[in-house]
Structure 1
Amino acid sequence: MSNEPTTAAEARARVTELARAARICMLTTIALDGRQVSRPMGLQEAEFDGDLWFFAYDDSAKVRQIRVNPEVNVAFSDQKHNSWVSISGTANEGFDRSRAEQLWSPVLKVWFPDGLDTSGLTMIKVHASSAEYWDSPSSTVVNLLGFARAAVTGQPPNPGENHEVTY
Protein backbone atom coordinates (compact mmCIF):
# COMPACT_ATOMS: atom_id res chain seq x y z
CA MET A 1 0.00 0.00 0.00
CA SER A 2 1.38 3.41 -0.88
CA ASN A 3 2.13 5.81 1.95
CA GLU A 4 1.29 8.78 -0.24
CA PRO A 5 -1.82 10.65 0.89
CA THR A 6 -4.67 10.38 -1.60
CA THR A 7 -8.14 11.77 -1.18
CA ALA A 8 -11.13 9.55 -1.92
CA ALA A 9 -12.00 11.77 -4.89
CA GLU A 10 -8.47 11.47 -6.28
CA ALA A 11 -8.52 7.70 -5.86
CA ARG A 12 -11.93 7.43 -7.60
CA ALA A 13 -10.64 9.62 -10.44
CA ARG A 14 -7.61 7.35 -10.82
CA VAL A 15 -9.85 4.25 -10.95
CA THR A 16 -11.80 5.97 -13.74
CA GLU A 17 -8.62 6.78 -15.70
CA LEU A 18 -7.22 3.27 -15.36
CA ALA A 19 -10.49 1.52 -16.31
CA ARG A 20 -10.97 3.85 -19.27
CA ALA A 21 -7.43 3.19 -20.51
CA ALA A 22 -7.76 -0.60 -20.24
CA ARG A 23 -11.33 -0.84 -21.72
CA ILE A 24 -11.27 -4.66 -21.78
CA CYS A 25 -11.92 -6.42 -18.50
CA MET A 26 -12.77 -9.75 -16.96
CA LEU A 27 -16.30 -9.87 -15.56
CA THR A 28 -16.59 -12.46 -12.78
CA THR A 29 -19.96 -13.84 -11.76
CA ILE A 30 -21.01 -16.70 -9.48
CA ALA A 31 -22.26 -19.80 -11.30
CA LEU A 32 -25.33 -21.65 -10.10
CA ASP A 33 -23.07 -24.31 -8.52
CA GLY A 34 -21.08 -21.63 -6.61
CA ARG A 35 -18.02 -21.50 -8.88
CA GLN A 36 -16.60 -18.13 -9.89
CA VAL A 37 -16.72 -17.70 -13.66
CA SER A 38 -14.83 -14.97 -15.55
CA ARG A 39 -15.04 -13.86 -19.13
CA PRO A 40 -13.66 -10.93 -21.14
CA MET A 41 -15.98 -8.00 -21.72
CA GLY A 42 -15.62 -4.63 -23.40
CA LEU A 43 -16.46 -1.63 -21.21
CA GLN A 44 -19.03 0.63 -22.88
CA GLU A 45 -19.18 3.53 -20.47
CA ALA A 46 -16.13 5.76 -20.71
CA GLU A 47 -17.28 8.14 -17.96
CA PHE A 48 -17.12 5.97 -14.86
CA ASP A 49 -19.33 7.42 -12.15
CA GLY A 50 -19.62 4.25 -10.10
CA ASP A 51 -21.52 2.36 -12.82
CA LEU A 52 -20.04 0.19 -15.56
CA TRP A 53 -22.07 -0.79 -18.63
CA PHE A 54 -21.83 -3.83 -20.92
CA PHE A 55 -23.91 -5.23 -23.77
CA ALA A 56 -24.88 -8.91 -23.63
CA TYR A 57 -27.49 -11.42 -24.76
CA ASP A 58 -30.34 -11.89 -22.30
CA ASP A 59 -30.08 -15.69 -22.49
CA SER A 60 -26.31 -15.81 -21.80
CA ALA A 61 -24.89 -17.66 -18.79
CA LYS A 62 -23.54 -14.44 -17.30
CA VAL A 63 -26.99 -12.81 -17.35
CA ARG A 64 -28.62 -15.90 -15.84
CA GLN A 65 -25.95 -15.92 -13.11
CA ILE A 66 -26.46 -12.22 -12.36
CA ARG A 67 -30.20 -12.76 -12.00
CA VAL A 68 -29.54 -15.37 -9.28
CA ASN A 69 -26.54 -13.73 -7.58
CA PRO A 70 -25.88 -10.09 -8.55
CA GLU A 71 -22.51 -9.83 -6.74
CA VAL A 72 -19.76 -9.46 -9.36
CA ASN A 73 -16.18 -8.37 -9.83
CA VAL A 74 -14.77 -6.52 -12.81
CA ALA A 75 -10.98 -6.66 -13.24
CA PHE A 76 -8.96 -4.54 -15.66
CA SER A 77 -5.34 -5.17 -16.61
CA ASP A 78 -3.38 -2.65 -18.64
CA GLN A 79 0.03 -4.21 -19.21
CA LYS A 80 1.09 -1.32 -21.44
CA HIS A 81 0.79 1.12 -18.52
CA ASN A 82 1.55 -1.35 -15.70
CA SER A 83 -1.79 -0.83 -13.98
CA TRP A 84 -4.57 -3.04 -12.63
CA VAL A 85 -8.03 -2.30 -11.26
CA SER A 86 -10.44 -4.60 -9.42
CA ILE A 87 -14.00 -3.33 -8.96
CA SER A 88 -16.54 -5.16 -6.78
CA GLY A 89 -20.21 -4.39 -7.07
CA THR A 90 -23.75 -5.41 -7.79
CA ALA A 91 -24.99 -6.11 -11.31
CA ASN A 92 -28.41 -5.98 -12.83
CA GLU A 93 -29.65 -6.62 -16.32
CA GLY A 94 -32.14 -4.78 -18.47
CA PHE A 95 -32.45 -2.97 -21.77
CA ASP A 96 -32.71 0.81 -21.74
CA ARG A 97 -32.98 1.98 -25.36
CA SER A 98 -31.91 5.53 -24.56
CA ARG A 99 -28.81 4.38 -22.63
CA ALA A 100 -28.04 1.80 -25.33
CA GLU A 101 -28.09 4.52 -28.01
CA GLN A 102 -25.67 6.61 -25.93
CA LEU A 103 -23.25 3.71 -25.47
CA TRP A 104 -23.52 1.94 -28.82
CA SER A 105 -20.36 1.64 -30.88
CA PRO A 106 -20.18 0.36 -34.48
CA VAL A 107 -17.62 -2.30 -33.46
CA LEU A 108 -20.38 -3.97 -31.40
CA LYS A 109 -22.04 -5.12 -34.66
CA VAL A 110 -19.49 -7.95 -34.68
CA TRP A 111 -21.33 -9.50 -31.71
CA PHE A 112 -24.76 -7.96 -32.25
CA PRO A 113 -25.27 -7.99 -36.05
CA ASP A 114 -28.65 -6.20 -36.05
CA GLY A 115 -27.33 -3.38 -33.88
CA LEU A 116 -29.70 -2.16 -31.21
CA ASP A 117 -32.47 -4.22 -32.83
CA THR A 118 -30.61 -7.51 -32.25
CA SER A 119 -33.02 -10.04 -30.76
CA GLY A 120 -32.21 -10.73 -27.10
CA LEU A 121 -29.90 -7.72 -26.70
CA THR A 122 -29.70 -6.51 -23.13
CA MET A 123 -27.36 -4.48 -20.98
CA ILE A 124 -25.52 -5.28 -17.78
CA LYS A 125 -25.05 -2.45 -15.32
CA VAL A 126 -22.49 -2.95 -12.55
CA HIS A 127 -22.81 -0.54 -9.66
CA ALA A 128 -19.45 -0.37 -7.85
CA SER A 129 -19.30 -0.71 -4.09
CA SER A 130 -15.50 -0.79 -3.84
CA ALA A 131 -12.40 -0.82 -5.98
CA GLU A 132 -8.71 -1.36 -5.57
CA TYR A 133 -6.01 -0.34 -7.97
CA TRP A 134 -2.33 -0.89 -8.50
CA ASP A 135 -0.55 1.67 -10.61
CA SER A 136 3.13 1.53 -11.46
CA PRO A 137 4.24 4.53 -13.50
CA SER A 138 7.56 2.84 -14.35
CA SER A 139 8.23 0.81 -17.44
CA THR A 140 8.47 -2.97 -17.36
CA VAL A 141 12.27 -2.75 -17.56
CA VAL A 142 12.41 -0.39 -14.55
CA ASN A 143 10.06 -2.69 -12.61
CA LEU A 144 12.20 -5.75 -13.46
CA LEU A 145 15.32 -3.89 -12.27
CA GLY A 146 13.49 -3.07 -9.03
CA PHE A 147 12.62 -6.74 -8.53
CA ALA A 148 16.23 -7.74 -9.24
CA ARG A 149 17.50 -5.16 -6.73
CA ALA A 150 15.00 -6.48 -4.18
CA ALA A 151 16.25 -10.04 -4.69
CA VAL A 152 19.85 -8.92 -4.04
CA THR A 153 19.17 -6.54 -1.11
CA GLY A 154 16.32 -8.43 0.53
CA GLN A 155 14.26 -5.22 0.58
CA PRO A 156 10.82 -5.42 -1.07
CA PRO A 157 10.47 -3.52 -4.36
CA ASN A 158 8.34 -0.41 -4.67
CA PRO A 159 5.61 -1.58 -7.05
CA GLY A 160 3.95 1.85 -7.31
CA GLU A 161 0.64 3.01 -5.90
CA ASN A 162 -1.98 0.75 -4.40
CA HIS A 163 -5.23 2.22 -3.06
CA GLU A 164 -8.62 0.96 -1.97
CA VAL A 165 -11.68 3.00 -2.89
CA THR A 166 -15.25 2.83 -1.64
CA TYR A 167 -18.29 4.20 -3.47
Structure 2
Amino acid sequence: MSDRSLAQIAEKLKSIDVAMLVTKTGEEGAIAARPMSNNKDVSESDGTTFHFATDDGRIDDDLKRSDECGATYTSGEFYCAVQGTGKLHRDRATLEKHWVKDLEKWFENGLDTEGLVLIEVSPKRIAWWEGREQGELTP
Protein backbone atom coordinates (compact mmCIF):
# COMPACT_ATOMS: atom_id res chain seq x y z
CA MET A 1 0.00 0.00 0.00
CA SER A 2 1.20 3.49 -0.78
CA ASP A 3 0.11 6.82 0.60
CA ARG A 4 -0.95 9.46 -1.87
CA SER A 5 -3.04 12.44 -1.03
CA LEU A 6 -6.39 13.18 -2.58
CA ALA A 7 -4.82 16.26 -4.17
CA GLN A 8 -2.17 14.06 -5.84
CA ILE A 9 -4.78 11.68 -7.23
CA ALA A 10 -6.94 14.62 -8.38
CA GLU A 11 -3.95 16.01 -10.30
CA LYS A 12 -3.55 12.65 -12.05
CA LEU A 13 -7.26 12.59 -12.93
CA LYS A 14 -7.06 16.14 -14.33
CA SER A 15 -4.37 14.97 -16.74
CA ILE A 16 -6.61 12.18 -18.11
CA ASP A 17 -9.21 13.80 -20.34
CA VAL A 18 -11.59 10.88 -20.85
CA ALA A 19 -13.06 8.56 -18.24
CA MET A 20 -15.54 5.74 -18.66
CA LEU A 21 -18.55 6.94 -16.67
CA VAL A 22 -20.61 4.03 -15.36
CA THR A 23 -24.25 4.08 -14.24
CA LYS A 24 -27.00 1.60 -13.43
CA THR A 25 -29.50 1.47 -16.26
CA GLY A 26 -33.00 0.18 -16.88
CA GLU A 27 -35.41 -1.35 -14.42
CA GLU A 28 -33.04 -4.28 -13.81
CA GLY A 29 -30.12 -2.03 -12.88
CA ALA A 30 -27.74 -3.34 -15.54
CA ILE A 31 -24.40 -1.58 -15.89
CA ALA A 32 -23.88 0.99 -18.67
CA ALA A 33 -20.66 2.82 -19.49
CA ARG A 34 -19.81 5.64 -21.83
CA PRO A 35 -16.74 7.84 -22.42
CA MET A 36 -16.98 11.29 -20.85
CA SER A 37 -14.49 14.13 -20.55
CA ASN A 38 -13.86 15.60 -17.10
CA ASN A 39 -12.57 18.80 -18.77
CA LYS A 40 -9.71 18.90 -16.23
CA ASP A 41 -12.39 19.90 -13.71
CA VAL A 42 -11.46 17.79 -10.68
CA SER A 43 -11.65 19.07 -7.10
CA GLU A 44 -8.39 18.59 -5.19
CA SER A 45 -10.25 18.84 -1.89
CA ASP A 46 -12.75 15.99 -2.38
CA GLY A 47 -12.15 14.44 -5.83
CA THR A 48 -15.46 15.59 -7.31
CA THR A 49 -15.52 15.58 -11.12
CA PHE A 50 -17.81 17.34 -13.59
CA HIS A 51 -18.98 16.08 -16.99
CA PHE A 52 -21.24 17.71 -19.60
CA ALA A 53 -23.89 15.79 -21.54
CA THR A 54 -27.35 16.34 -22.99
CA ASP A 55 -30.56 15.00 -21.52
CA ASP A 56 -31.60 13.20 -24.72
CA GLY A 57 -29.46 10.16 -23.95
CA ARG A 58 -29.71 7.42 -21.37
CA ILE A 59 -27.36 8.92 -18.78
CA ASP A 60 -29.80 11.45 -17.33
CA ASP A 61 -32.51 8.78 -17.01
CA ASP A 62 -30.01 6.46 -15.33
CA LEU A 63 -29.02 9.07 -12.75
CA LYS A 64 -32.64 9.98 -12.06
CA ARG A 65 -33.37 6.31 -11.33
CA SER A 66 -30.22 5.72 -9.23
CA ASP A 67 -27.56 8.21 -8.26
CA GLU A 68 -24.98 5.43 -7.82
CA CYS A 69 -22.25 5.75 -10.43
CA GLY A 70 -18.56 5.43 -11.02
CA ALA A 71 -15.77 6.35 -13.38
CA THR A 72 -12.62 4.60 -14.48
CA TYR A 73 -9.45 6.31 -15.67
CA THR A 74 -6.24 4.99 -17.18
CA SER A 75 -3.01 6.50 -18.47
CA GLY A 76 0.19 4.52 -18.93
CA GLU A 77 0.62 2.44 -15.79
CA PHE A 78 -1.88 4.51 -13.78
CA TYR A 79 -5.39 3.12 -13.24
CA CYS A 80 -8.13 4.58 -11.09
CA ALA A 81 -11.67 3.53 -10.18
CA VAL A 82 -14.01 6.06 -8.60
CA GLN A 83 -17.24 4.95 -6.92
CA GLY A 84 -19.75 7.53 -5.80
CA THR A 85 -22.94 9.37 -6.57
CA GLY A 86 -24.02 11.48 -9.52
CA LYS A 87 -26.09 14.63 -9.51
CA LEU A 88 -27.57 16.43 -12.52
CA HIS A 89 -27.33 20.21 -12.77
CA ARG A 90 -29.35 22.26 -15.23
CA ASP A 91 -29.13 25.79 -13.85
CA ARG A 92 -27.23 28.23 -16.04
CA ALA A 93 -25.00 29.62 -13.27
CA THR A 94 -23.64 26.17 -12.40
CA LEU A 95 -23.13 25.26 -16.05
CA GLU A 96 -21.26 28.54 -16.66
CA LYS A 97 -19.01 27.92 -13.67
CA HIS A 98 -17.77 24.61 -15.14
CA TRP A 99 -17.87 25.38 -18.87
CA VAL A 100 -14.63 25.40 -20.88
CA LYS A 101 -14.30 26.61 -24.48
CA ASP A 102 -13.07 23.21 -25.72
CA LEU A 103 -16.55 21.79 -25.07
CA GLU A 104 -17.86 23.65 -28.12
CA LYS A 105 -16.53 20.84 -30.33
CA TRP A 106 -19.19 18.58 -28.75
CA PHE A 107 -21.89 21.15 -28.04
CA GLU A 108 -21.96 23.51 -31.01
CA ASN A 109 -24.43 25.91 -29.37
CA GLY A 110 -22.28 26.11 -26.25
CA LEU A 111 -24.19 26.82 -23.08
CA ASP A 112 -27.31 27.33 -25.20
CA THR A 113 -27.31 23.70 -26.37
CA GLU A 114 -30.79 22.27 -25.89
CA GLY A 115 -30.95 19.84 -22.97
CA LEU A 116 -27.43 20.59 -21.71
CA VAL A 117 -26.76 19.07 -18.28
CA LEU A 118 -23.76 18.93 -15.98
CA ILE A 119 -23.09 15.68 -14.16
CA GLU A 120 -21.35 16.08 -10.81
CA VAL A 121 -19.73 12.87 -9.60
CA SER A 122 -19.00 12.91 -5.86
CA PRO A 123 -16.67 10.08 -4.88
CA LYS A 124 -17.22 7.86 -1.87
CA ARG A 125 -14.26 5.61 -2.67
CA ILE A 126 -11.27 6.07 -4.97
CA ALA A 127 -9.00 3.10 -5.66
CA TRP A 128 -5.82 3.54 -7.69
CA TRP A 129 -2.91 1.47 -9.00
CA GLU A 130 0.37 2.57 -10.55
CA GLY A 131 3.07 0.01 -11.23
CA ARG A 132 3.53 -1.89 -7.96
CA GLU A 133 1.91 0.83 -5.87
CA GLN A 134 -1.75 0.99 -5.00
CA GLY A 135 -4.03 2.76 -2.59
CA GLU A 136 -7.55 3.65 -1.65
CA LEU A 137 -9.05 6.91 -0.47
CA THR A 138 -12.45 7.61 1.04
CA PRO A 139 -13.02 11.36 0.72
The TM-score with structure 2 as length reference comes to 0.89
Instruction: Report the Cα distance in structure 1 between the residues aligned to 2:115 and 2:75, rounded to whole angstroms.
Output: 31
CA contact (8 A) 1:73 1:87 kept: yes
1:61 — aligned with what? Answer: 58
1:148 — aligned with what? Answer: none
Q: How does 1:116-131 map to 2 (within 5 A)?
A: 116-131=111-126
**Secondary structure class of the residue paired with 2:5:** helix
Q: 1:59-115 CA distances to partner (integer Å, 9 max, x unpaired)?
A: 320110010011001110112xx1011110000112232232232222211221110
1:106 — aligned with what? Answer: 101
Q: How does 1:1-167 map to 2 (within 5 A)?
A: 2=1, 4=2, 6=3, 10-32=4-26, 33-44=28-39, 45-48=41-44, 49-79=46-76, 82-136=77-131, 160-167=132-139
Q: Which runs of 5+ in 1 are unaligned?
A: 137-159
Q: Which runs of 5+ in 2 are unaligned?
A: none
Q: What's the offset of the Cα at 1:13?
A: 2.1
CA contact (8 A) 2:96 2:111 kept: yes
The TM-score with structure 1 as length reference comes to 0.75
Higher helix share: 1
**Secondary structure class of the residue paired with 2:15:** helix
**Secondary structure class of the residue paired with 2:114:** coil
CA contact (8 A) 2:16 2:75 kept: yes
CA contact (8 A) 1:30 1:72 kept: yes
Identity %: 27
Q: 1:121-161 CA distances to partner (integer Å, 9 max, x unpaired)?
A: 1111111111001123xxxxxxxxxxxxxxxxxxxxxxx21
> How many aligned positions are there?
136
Q: Say which is worse superposed, 24-33 or 102-111, in terms of deviation.
A: 102-111
Cα RMSD for the two superposed structures: 1.5
Instruction: Report the Cα distance in structure 2 between the residues aligned to 1:30 and 1:60, rounded to whole angstroms.
Output: 14
Q: What's the offset of the Cα at 1:29?
A: 0.5
Higher strand share: 2
Q: What's the offset of the Cα at 1:15?
A: 1.7
